């Protein structure tokens, strides 16, 4: 069974540009959540999608957005990039139907904003 | 707002030693507490998940305990090995997961 796949693995952008990251969950998983990881702030929750609907949202500005498709694949978009957006972006999937489900993480997309 | 703290931030032990990693959380209204391992530049791997109604979970050399009333969880690693070297994170789930900053473990041969 394939794990969670994130593409691309590395990305370099300049300030003001926008970027789209992709996450394919484990087959059968309907919940996808996104996290930002930086040395200074640690791992912070961005948002969660379940059955194409945003179910939860963290405290990030509106420049961060996401969506989920009918096949459960998810994309995250960051517009008007800032230097502080440089981070490892991780997505995690779970079955999504119950409270006590393990999260399965992808390897992440390392974004560098110059 | 849930806050999760992990102490110590870093730990170095000789191979074979038993060790305990600590995790504390401020809001006890959680569904579960999950422990993860992260290798440098990689994603997280789930190690153990303890439901709020449970006291502990075990997997091989790992044992995690949960005390909701005191807002604490511990991860016990028996007979540590160099391959256990990684960063260990705990996450408290109350609808969305709040992570601690992790404990970076180094096991020296």
Cβ atoms of B36 and B43 within 8 Å: the answer is no
**Bond from prior residue into B78 cis (ω within 30 degrees of 0):** no
Instruction: Please choose, from the candidates B98, B86, B74, the residue with its C-alpha nearest in 3D space to the C-alpha of residue B1.
Output: B98
Instruction: Please choose, from the candidates B29, B91, B31, B72, the residue with its C-alpha nearest in 3D space to the C-alpha of residue A37.
Output: B91
DSSP state of B55: S
Q: Give the separation between CA B74 and CA B67, rounded to whole angstroms.
A: 9
**C-alpha distance from A107 to closest chain B C-alpha (Å):** 4
Give the nearest chain B residue to A32 (CA atoms).
B96
Q: Is the pLDDT of residue B80 over 80?
A: yes
Q: Is the pLDDT of residue A97 over 70?
A: no
A to B CB pairs, distance under 8 Å = 52
**C-alpha distance from A51 to closest chain B C-alpha (Å):** 16
Give the nearest chain A residue to B3 (CA atoms).
A44
Q: Give the separation between CA A11 and CA A66, rounded to whole angstroms.
A: 18
Cβ contact, residue pair A45, B97, below 8 Å:
yes
Structure tokens at A84: 């502080």
Q: Give the separation between CA B21 and CA B49, rounded to whole angstroms.
A: 15
**Chain segment A31-52, per-residue pLDDT in tens:** 999 999 998 889 999 999 999 9
**Chain segment B81-108, per-residue pLDDT in tens:** 999 999 999 999 988 889 999 999 999 9
Chain centre to alpha carbon of residue B59 = 13
What would you report as the CA-atom Rg of chain B, rounded to the nearest whole angstrom? 13
Residue B108 near chain A (CB below 8 Å): no
Give the nearest chain A residue to B36 (CA atoms).
A103
Selecting from B31, B46, B99 the residue whose C-beta is nearest the C-beta of A42 gives B99
**Mutation for B interface: A29, A47, A100, most B CBs within 10 A:** A100
DSSP state of A52: T
**Chain segment A85-94, per-residue pLDDT in tens:** 999 999 999 9
């Amino acid at each position: 069974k394939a794990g969670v796949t994130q593409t691309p693995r590395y990305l370099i952008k300049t300030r003001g540009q926008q970027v789209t990251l992709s996450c394919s969950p484990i087959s059968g998983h309907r919940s996808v959540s996104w996290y930002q990881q930086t040395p200074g702030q640690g791992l912070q929750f961005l948002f969660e999608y379940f059955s194409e609907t945003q179910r939860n949202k963290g405290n990030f500005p509106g420049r961060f957005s996401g969506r989920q498709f009918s096949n459960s694949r998810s994309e995250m978009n960051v517009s008007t990039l800032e230097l502080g957006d440089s981070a490892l972006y991780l997505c995690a999937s779970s079955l999504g139907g119950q409270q006590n489900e393990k999260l399965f993480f992808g390897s992440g997309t390392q974004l560098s904003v110059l | 707002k849930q806050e999760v703290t992990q102490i110590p931030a870093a730990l170095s032990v000789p191979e074979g030693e038993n060790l305990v990693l600590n995790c504390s959380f401020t809001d006890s209204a959680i569904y579960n507490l999950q422990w993860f391992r992260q290798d440098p530049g990689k994603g997280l791997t789930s190690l153990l998940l303890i439901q709020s109604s449970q006291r502990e979970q075990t997997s091989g050399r790992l044992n995690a305990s949960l005390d909701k009333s005191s807002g604490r969880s511990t991860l016990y690693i028996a007979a540590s090995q160099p391959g256990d070297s990684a960063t260990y994170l705990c996450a408290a789930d109350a609808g969305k997961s709040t992570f601690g900053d992790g404990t970076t473990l180094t096991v020296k041969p």
